[in-house]
């Protein structure tokens, strides 16, 4: 939703796209907009905001400021939200079983998440692809401990084909790898997919792995009662 503010160096309103989360506490919010400043010579716009959740202030920078004229009135439009500062690295908390299975996945995923928050999308995409490799290979090693060396030295796609039985899960992990590879190659194969699709498929792979880890634990409990 568009909102507007009257910057101190302007006599008309500037309309801008609403901000939905706080870069400091990561809460989903509707910020309190305190102050706007138009940078006419650079066609940019800065917005000073307060988070109603943590009470801290931050600044949003819009990369475009354009003049819209209608009915002989003038108004400005700020768009292309470039970045919000300050940025604090975000840490996603994973289930303890996932952290134990693949600490490398958790570390690489969270580094990628931080890179994404800094708008380093070229790097974050590659990072998610690497995190996915740790996750799937560690899971395959957990299921086939005697094949550890083979798994570590096999391409991820081959690993999935060989060690993941369920066809639906095979498809999910396979597509995750394809989307991840797209983040590392010069030419993108799946133009209509982006980093959010990759994260969505990684999340789904995580559900499958966690489901299996919990099922194995339940089986152990049942066996211990016999």
Closer to Zn ion by CB, 27 or 161: give it. 27
Answer for which of 21, 53, 79, 144 binds Zn ion (CB under 5 A) is: 53
Give the bridge partners for 50, in sequence order: 32, 57
Answer for which of 9, 25, 67, 166 binds Zn ion (CB under 5 A) is: 25
Q: How far is the CB of 28 from Zn ion (least distance, A)?
A: 10
159 lies in the binding site for Zn ion (CB under 5 A): no
Q: Please compute, for residue 144, the number of CA atoms within 13 A of its CA located in the half-sphere on the CB side.
A: 15
87 lies in the binding site for Zn ion (CB under 5 A): no
24 lies in the binding site for Zn ion (CB under 5 A): yes
21 lies in the binding site for Zn ion (CB under 5 A): no
Closer to Zn ion by CB, 53 or 79: give it. 53
Q: CB of 125 within 8 A of CB of 198? A: yes
Tell me which stretch binds Zn ion (CB under 5 A): 47-55, 119-127, 156-164, 209-217. Answer: 47-55
Query: Element (H or E) spanning 45, and its range?
Result: strand 44-50
Please give the backbone phi and psi of residue 151, each rounded to the nearest 5 degrees, phi first. Answer: -65, -45
Closer to Zn ion by CB, 54 or 81: give it. 54
Q: How far is the CB of 56 from Zn ion (least distance, A)?
A: 6
210 lies in the binding site for Zn ion (CB under 5 A): no
CA distance 172 to 180: 12
- DSSP for residue 88: -
Exposure of 177 by Cβ count < 10 A (0-12 exposed, 13-18 middle, 19+ buried)?
A: buried
209 lies in the binding site for Zn ion (CB under 5 A): no
Closer to Zn ion by CB, 57 or 104: give it. 57
19 lies in the binding site for Zn ion (CB under 5 A): no
Of 80, 83, 82, 91, the C-alpha closest to 26 is 91
57 lies in the binding site for Zn ion (CB under 5 A): no
Q: How far is the CB of 196 from Zn ion (least distance, A)?
A: 22
CA distance 123 to 107: 15
Closer to Zn ion by CB, 49 or 65: give it. 49
Within 10 angstroms of residue 43's Cβ, the number of other Cβ atoms is: 15
Which residues in 10-21 are b (16+ Cβ under 10 Å) and which e?
Answer: beebbebeebeb
Contact residues for Zn ion, defined by CB under 5 A: 22, 24-25, 51, 53-54
């Amino acid at each position: 939703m568009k909102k507007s503010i009257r910057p101190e160096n302007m006599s008309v309103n500037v309309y801008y796209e609403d901000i939905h989360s706080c870069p400091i506490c990561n809460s989903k919010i509707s910020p309190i907009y305190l102050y706007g400043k138009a940078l006419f010579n650079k066609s940019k716009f800065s917005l000073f905001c307060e988070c109603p959740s943590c009470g801290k202030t931050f600044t949003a920078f819009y990369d475009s400021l354009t003049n819209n004229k209608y009915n002989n009135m003038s108004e400005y439009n700020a768009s292309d939200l470039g970045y919000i500062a300050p940025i604090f690295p975000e840490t996603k908390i994973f289930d303890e079983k996932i952290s134990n299975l693949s600490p490398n996945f958790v570390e690489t995923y969270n580094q990628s998440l931080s890179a994404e928050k800094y708008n380093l999308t070229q790097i974050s995409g590659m990072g998610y692809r690497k995190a996915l490799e740790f996750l799937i290979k560690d899971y395959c090693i957990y299921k086939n401990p005697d094949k550890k060396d083979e798994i570590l030295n096999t391409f991820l796609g081959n690993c999935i084909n060989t060690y993941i039985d369920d066809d639906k899960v095979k498809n999910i992990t396979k597509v995750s790898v394809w989307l991840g590879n797209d983040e590392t190659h010069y030419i993108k194969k799946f133009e209509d997919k982006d980093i959010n699709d990759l994260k969505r498929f990684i999340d789904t792979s995580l559900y499958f792995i966690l489901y299996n880890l919990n099922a194995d634990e339940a089986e152990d409990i049942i066996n211990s009662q016999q």
